[in-house]
Amino acid sequence: MLETWLDEDIGRGDLTQAAIDSSKNKHAYWKCKQDGIFCGGELVRCLYNHLDSSVKIDLKKADGESFTLGERIIELHGPVYSLLAGERTALNLAMHLSGIATATKKLVSELQGTGVLLADTRKTTPGLRQLEKYAMRCGGGINHRLGLDDAAMLKENHIAWSDGIDKSIQSLRKNIPWTSKIIVEAETDQQAKEAISAGADGVLLDEMSAKHICMLVPHLRALAKQMSRKIMIEASGIDPKEIKNYASTGVDIISTSAPITKSNWIDFSMRFNENGEKN
């Protein structure tokens, strides 16, 4: 994958290199143009190591650490050609992932003290899922399913095309590993209650208002208690601007794709020291 990313930008070679003496070793650094949470440092190291093992990377910030406007977060030393050849690809990846981590951190801070966890979804960029989910963790979130093989989730279309929630769960218990969880996406109170009665491990309350969930959760907890079972209750399909309201409903988890699908990239730039030496 690293080679594919680099080849996409470098192609048959950087034509602009003919304008400079690219064989010299130089010192460069990455500068932050805004505040945020850093993510992607080790990926930048791997990228440059794949491109040219002689390039030295000094990470001034670890993944998950905060940075401020004007700070230097990475220092690099190596052949000018290699530093420039990997610049755009490395910056693009780190800016994207740092944007996700920063957006996640902002939402997580809204949940501080509530005990409610913030989870991601499977709405990710094809080929970048693991990295984007990693960025969510760097921002303080947790990961939902990495893929369809992580847990069985009965979503609206599964329920619509099956013989019902109860029979679907019975069938799943017979066919999936005993260690696997079963989650039911409920769009109505009845579906949520049926899921608990049928033995689901978790119920995802989809696109319900915070006020409605607040009234529903006690009934779901009571039903689970009657069955001597513990149930994980999740709210999804929410407006991130209302996350505090949802945090007070009694749910365990709030899942959202917003940090991955709606976050802005963090702006970094690479600069060379004028004398080519490390400051």
How distant is the alpha carbon of residue 54 from its chain centre? 31
For the chain, the straight-line distance linking the first and the last C-alpha, in angstroms and rounded, comes to 34
Statement to judge: residues 168 and 97 lie in one domain: no
Query: Rounded to whole angstroms, how far apart are CA atoms 275 and 194?
Result: 70
Same domain, 92 and 120: no
Q: Are residues 93 and 117 in the same domain?
A: no
Q: Which pLDDT band, with edges at 50, 70 and 90, does 278 fall under?
A: very low
Look at residue 278 and tell me if it is in a domain. Answer: no
| Domain co-membership, 66 together with 149 | no
Pair (113, 99) in one structural domain: no
Specify if 184 maps to a domain. Answer: yes
The reply to whether 76 and 170 lie within a common domain is no
Q: Are 194 and 185 in contact (CB under 8 A)?
A: no
Residue 234 shares a structural domain with residue 254? yes
Q: Binning pLDDT at 50, 70 and 90, where does residue 23 land?
A: confident
- The pLDDT assigned to 274 comes to 59
Same domain, yes or no: 87 and 128: no
Domain assignment present for residue 10? The answer is yes
Mark whether 135 and 213 lie in a shared domain: yes
On whether both 154 and 238 belong to a single domain, the answer is yes
66 DSSP β-pair partners: 37
The verdict on 149 and 26 lying in the same domain is no
Give the total number of structural domains in the chain.
2
pLDDT of 48 = 96
pLDDT tens profile 160-213: 888 889 999 999 999 999 999 999 999 999 999 999 999 999 999 999 999 999
Give the closest residue to 94 by CA, choosing from 9, 32, 7, 11.
Answer: 32
Q: Which residues pair with 182 in a beta bridge?
A: 152
Average pLDDT over residues 77-89: 94
What is the tally of helices (H) and strands (E) in the chain? 10, 12
The CATH number covering residue 50 comes to 3.90.1170.20
The answer as to whether 125 is a domain residue is yes
According to the model, what pLDDT value does residue 246 have? 97
Q: How far apart are CA 239 and CA 260, in angstroms?
A: 14
Question: Do 57 and 95 have their domain in common?
Answer: yes
Range of the domain at 57: 2-106+264-272
CATH number at residue 137: 3.20.20.70
DSSP code for 117: E
Q: Is residue 279 part of a domain?
A: no
pLDDT tens for 120-153 read 999 999 999 999 999 999 999 999 999 999 999 9
Edge-to-edge order in the sheet of strand 152-154: 117-119, 253-255, 232-236, 202-206, 182-186, 152-154
Q: Does any domain span residue 277?
A: no
115 pLDDT band, cuts 50/70/90, is very high
Residue 6 belongs to some domain of the structure: yes
SS3 of 215-252: the string is HHHHHHHHHHHHCCCCCEEEEECCCHHHHHHHHCCCCC
